Amino acid sequence: MPAELKYKAFLVDKKLIDADPHFVDGCASCHKGDEKGVSREKAHAGFVKRPSSDLKICGKCHDNVAKTYKDSLHFTTAGLRHGVSGRFSSKEQKIFDEKVFQKSCRSCHASCGDCHVMSPKIGGITTGFIKNHQFVKKDDGKTCAMCHGGRVYPEYTGDYGGSADVHYQKGMTCLDCHKKAEFHGTASVYKTKKEVKEKPSCTGCHKIGDEKTEKAKTSHAQHNNRVSCYACHSGGTYRNCYDCHLGKGATSKPGFILGLSPRDKKTVTTLRVIPTVRNTFKAAGIAMEKYDALPNYWDAATHNIKKRTERTRSCEICHVEKQDFLTKDKLLKNGSKANELLLYTPKPIK
C-alpha cells in the first residue's frame, strides 16, 4: 500500500486546523513530541499516542468536565470492581485489585478521546478515527456501539435478532436517553451504575397516569413498583453469557428470564446471566470464599422495548402459564446459593 494512502487517516486537513480550536496550539500541545524535529524519529521523541488518558490534557480547556469525569464510571471502571467484590475475602480483594483489576478490567477504561476522536481497541479491534482527526461531539454508532456492541447495541438496533427497539425505530440515539451528565459524571462518586442518579428511567418520559387507554392505566397502576417496565415491554430474547473465564471463551445464548430483582427482592424484572463461575479467578489465586453471597443473575435493563408484546396482550402469559419465570430446575448448575432468592411464582388472577 502506498505510504500516502497508508497514513491518510493521520493527516489533518488544513481547513480543519483553521476551523477547530483543538489545533490552535499545535499537535505538541496534546501529543508532546518535538514539532521542530526534521525527521520522524526526532519529531516523535516523547510522543504520547493517546493524550486524553491524562485528564489534565483535556482539563486545560475543559476543566469543569475533567473534574467530574475523573470520578465517572466510564473512567474509573469501578463498576467492574465492585460488581464482583462481594464474593471476596479482604485478602482476596487485594489480590484481585493487583492481579486482575489493574491488568484486565481497567482495559475498559475510557478516556475523552475514546468517545470524541478515536475508538479504543476492544479485543484487538478498533474502528479507528471517528471522522479522520476531527473532534466529534457524538456518534453513538462508532463510540457507544464499539464498547457496548456485545449485548446492548445489537439488541437496540435489532441486529441480535427480532425487531429493533421502538425508540431506535423512531430515530432515537443512545444520547437521547443517556444524557452527558451520566457519562461525564457529577460531583458524586458512584460504585456501580445502579447508584447513578442521572440514569434514565422509563417513567421519566412515560408518566404513570398519562396512558391513553383505561386498560393501560389499570395495568400500570396495579404493577407499579412491583414489576419493572422491561418485564412486560421487552420485545423478545436478549443475550446471556455463560462459562466466562474458564479458559475456553464465553458462550452466548439468547434467553428471556424473569425473577425477583437482586437489588430489592420486591420487584419482578428481567434478569441477565452474569457468568462469574466458582473458579473464574482460580489462576490468580482467588477461591472466592464468599461466592454464594451474590447471585449469578442480575436485573437487566433490556434494550429491545416494544409497546405491545405477548405479556401486554394477555395476563395469562404470566399468571396462568407462568412463562419464562426462573424456577429451581432452570438454575445454573453449581451456581450461587443466592440464586434461589430470586425465584418467583406469579399469583393466580382473582
Model-level pTM? 0.88
**How does DSSP assign 118-135, residue by residue?**
BPPPBTTB---BSBTB--
Once rounded to an integer, what is the mean pLDDT over residues 98-114? 88
Instruction: Domain ranges for the chain, please list them.
Output: 12-49, 61-200, 204-350
* C-alpha cell, 300: 437487566
Confidence of residue 4 (pLDDT cuts 50, 70, 90): very low
Q: Which one-letter amino acid corresponds to residue 317?
A: I
Which H or E element spans position 260? strand 257-260
The closest of 329, 315, 332, 163 to 238, measured between CA atoms, is 163
* Cell numbers at 102, concatenated: 489493574
Per-residue pLDDT tens digits for 284-311: 999 999 999 999 999 989 999 999 999 9
The enclosing H or E element of 90 equals helix 90-95
Dist. CA 330–CA 215, nearest whole Å: 33
Burial 7-43 (b: 16+ CB within 10 A, else e): eeeeeeeeebeeeeebbeeebbebbebeeeeeeeeee
| Predicted local confidence at residue 26, as pLDDT | 85
Residue 281: burial class (beta carbons within 10 Å; 0-12, 13-18, 19+)? buried
Q: Are residues 74 and 55 in contact, defined by beta-carbon separation less than 8 angstroms? A: no
CA distances from 49 to 53, 129, 255, 277 (A): 9, 13, 41, 37
Q: Does pLDDT of 87 surpass 60?
A: yes
Does residue 3 register a pLDDT over 60? no
Q: Which of 7-11, 66-70, 288-292 has the lowest mean pLDDT?
A: 7-11
pLDDT digits (tens, 9 = 90+) for 304-334: 999 999 999 999 999 999 999 999 999 999 9
The cell for 41 is 524519529
- Write out pLDDT tens, residues 191-234: 998 899 889 999 999 999 999 999 999 999 999 999 999 999 99
Least confident span in 63-77, 239-253, 273-287: 239-253
Cα 130 to Cα 4, 133, 142: the distances in Å are 20, 8, 7
Q: Which of 38-47, 85-94, 163-172 has the lowest mean pLDDT?
A: 38-47
